[in-house]
């Protein structure tokens, strides 16, 4: 049911008129639209409990969205052409109406082809991976320190339904679950592919476990090594700049926490083959990765989205089915999986709150309003996807045959 509180303004350009006409297709929840001239319009069921507000400051935002879907909306939001009091609610409404708002979410064919080509031109070769990782993780340790928890963990925490838990405690719970699932004991040797700022390595080493962590981010390595030195863990932790494809040796276990998303689909076989090769016979690996629903995978693969364009260049999410199938082909038998997507939504809310609270300090570091709005979009975009079940985060336990 659509209830319009006012008709489309006669001053609206053709693109805006088409944009407004497409909003008539909202079937779940309601959207209040406030136009540049102050006209208020409501689409969908005005009495529905779920709803959102979109304020247009510039009619040109409509054409951007029609042309490039979610990427166009992100660009318009970053430029201040549109605004909303609750960005996550707006994005959740969009996902709930995905089937009927196809044109607004995915944009036109020409823009999709252009952005897809741009994504293909950033493959995760050895040099490409360095560039792609640098674009996100090396923007400044001072920036990340402002809103990450004290363990510098940049992956989903594990709340297990207890959302009163401090973020740091939930991150430690996640690390401990990995250790317990792999049944790691003091003295065992673990390879961590993508060690980040050293959170897992520190947690494991304090329990007597030996960790060899690798990263291709110099900024992350600097902090991780500093933390290891501060705790005098050099006898148990070795950290280095190294591409996972260049590793050798055998380990009792392999851990990889949200690095798989940066591998790229064409390199999945090489990644799993490397994990299998580095494990002792019968050894186990625990890989934590974000996944996308299999029903969405084909379209996701054939296009590209805001996250791939502006946040994680070269990134690619697997579905659960494709992850386990490819692992099996490379000699890694899936044993169990643990999904906790709603915990990621909560983690993202905590990060967003931390970023907003530190906005003054972030600005003093040289980051402008455009940067801040892109990151607000990033957090809200992912939070909505986890809350709506479009994406999930899963810990996969794999065993070398």
Q: Report pLDDT for 10.
A: 67
| Number of C-beta neighbours around residue 246 at 10 A | 9
Query: What are the strands, taking DSSP E only, across 332-390?
Result: 332-339
Q: Considering the entire predicted model, what is its pTM?
A: 0.90
Distance CA 99, CA 172 (A): 39
Name the strands in the sheet holding 210-215, side by side, starting at the edge strand that comes first in the sequence.
237-241, 210-215, 189-193, 251-257, 279-292, 391-400, 332-339
382 among known catalytic residues: yes
Q: Model confidence over 366-388: pLDDT tens digits? A: 999 999 999 999 999 999 999 99
Q: DSSP code of 236?
A: T
Q: Report pLDDT for 3.
A: 45
* 292 contacts: CB under 8 Å, gap ≥ 6: 300, 317, 318, 319, 390, 391
Could you tell me the domains of the chain?
14-107 (no CATH), 129-400 (3.40.50.150)
Q: Report pLDDT for 46.
A: 86
Q: Report pLDDT for 105.
A: 78
pLDDT of the chain, 401 residues: tens digit per residue = 444 445 667 678 899 999 999 999 999 999 999 999 999 999 999 888 889 999 999 999 999 999 888 999 999 999 999 999 999 999 999 999 998 888 787 766 555 554 555 555 565 565 655 554 545 666 789 999 999 999 999 999 999 999 999 999 999 999 999 999 999 999 999 999 999 999 999 999 999 999 999 999 999 999 999 999 999 999 999 999 999 999 999 999 999 999 999 999 999 999 999 999 999 999 999 999 999 999 999 988 877 778 877 777 778 999 999 999 999 999 999 999 999 999 999 999 999 999 999 999 999 999 999 999 999 999 999 999 999 999 999 999 999 98
Q: Please, where are the H alpha helices in 79-125?
A: 87-96, 102-106, 109-120
- What is the Cβ-side half-sphere exposure of residue 330, based on CA atoms within 13 angstroms? 21
Longest Cα–Cα distance of the chain, Å, equals 74
Distance CA 165, CA 147 (A): 17
Distance CA 324, CA 215 (A): 24
For helices 268-278 and 320-329, give the axis angle rounded to 10 degrees.
Answer: 50
Q: Report pLDDT for 312.
A: 74
Q: Report pLDDT for 212.
A: 98
**Annotated catalytic residue: which of 62, 195, 330, 382?**
382
Q: Report pLDDT for 114.
A: 44
Residue 355's closest CA among 147, 148, 154?
147
């Amino acid at each position: 049911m659509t209830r319009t509180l006012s008709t489309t303004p006669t001053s609206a350009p053709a693109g805006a008129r088409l944009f407004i006409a497409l909003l008539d297709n909202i079937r779940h929840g309601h959207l209040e639209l406030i136009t540049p001239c102050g006209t208020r319009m409501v689409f969908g069921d005005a009495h529905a409990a779920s709803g959102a507000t979109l304020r247009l400051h510039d009619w040109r935002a409509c054409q951007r969205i029609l042309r490039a879907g979610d990427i166009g909306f992100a660009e318009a939001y970053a430029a201040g052409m549109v605004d909303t009091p609750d960005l996550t609610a707006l994005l959740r409404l969009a996902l709930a109406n995905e089937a009927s708002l196809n044109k607004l979410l995915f944009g036109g064919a020409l823009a999709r082809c252009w952005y897809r080509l741009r994504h293909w031109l950033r493959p995760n070769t050895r040099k490409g991976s360095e560039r792609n990782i640098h674009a996100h993780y090396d923007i400044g340790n001072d920036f990340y320190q402002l809103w990450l928890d004290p363990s510098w963990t940049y992956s989903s925490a594990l709340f297990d339904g207890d959302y009163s838990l401090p973020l740091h405690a939930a991150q430690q719970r996640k690390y401990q679950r990995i250790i317990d699932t792999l049944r790691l004991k003091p003295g065992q040797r673990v390879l961590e592919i993508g060690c980040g700022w050293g959170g897992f390595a520190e947690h494991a080493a304090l329990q007597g476990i030996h960790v060899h962590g690798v990263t291709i981010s110099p900024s992350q390595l600097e902090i991780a090594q500093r933390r290891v030195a501060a705790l005098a863990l050099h006898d148990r932790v070795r950290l280095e700049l190294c591409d996972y494809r260049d590793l050798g040796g055998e380990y009792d276990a392999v851990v990889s926490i949200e690095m798989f998303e940066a591998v790229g689909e064409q390199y999945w076989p090489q990644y799993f083959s490397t994990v299998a090769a580095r494990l002792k016979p019968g050894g186990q690996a625990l890989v934590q990765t974000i996944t996308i629903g299999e029903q969405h995978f084909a379209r996701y693969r054939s296009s590209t989205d805001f996250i791939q364009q502006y946040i994680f260049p070269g990134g690619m999410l697997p579905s659960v089915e494709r992850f386990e199938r490819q692992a099996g082909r490379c000699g890694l038998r899936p044993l169990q999986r643990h999904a906790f997507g709603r915990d990621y939504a909560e983690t993202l809310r905590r990060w967003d709150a931390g970023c907003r609270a530190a906005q003054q300090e972030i600005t003093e570091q040289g980051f402008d309003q455009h940067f801040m709005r892109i990151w607000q979009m990033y957090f809200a975009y992912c939070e909505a996807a986890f809350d709506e079940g479009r994406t999930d985060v899963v810990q996969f336990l794999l065993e070398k045959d």
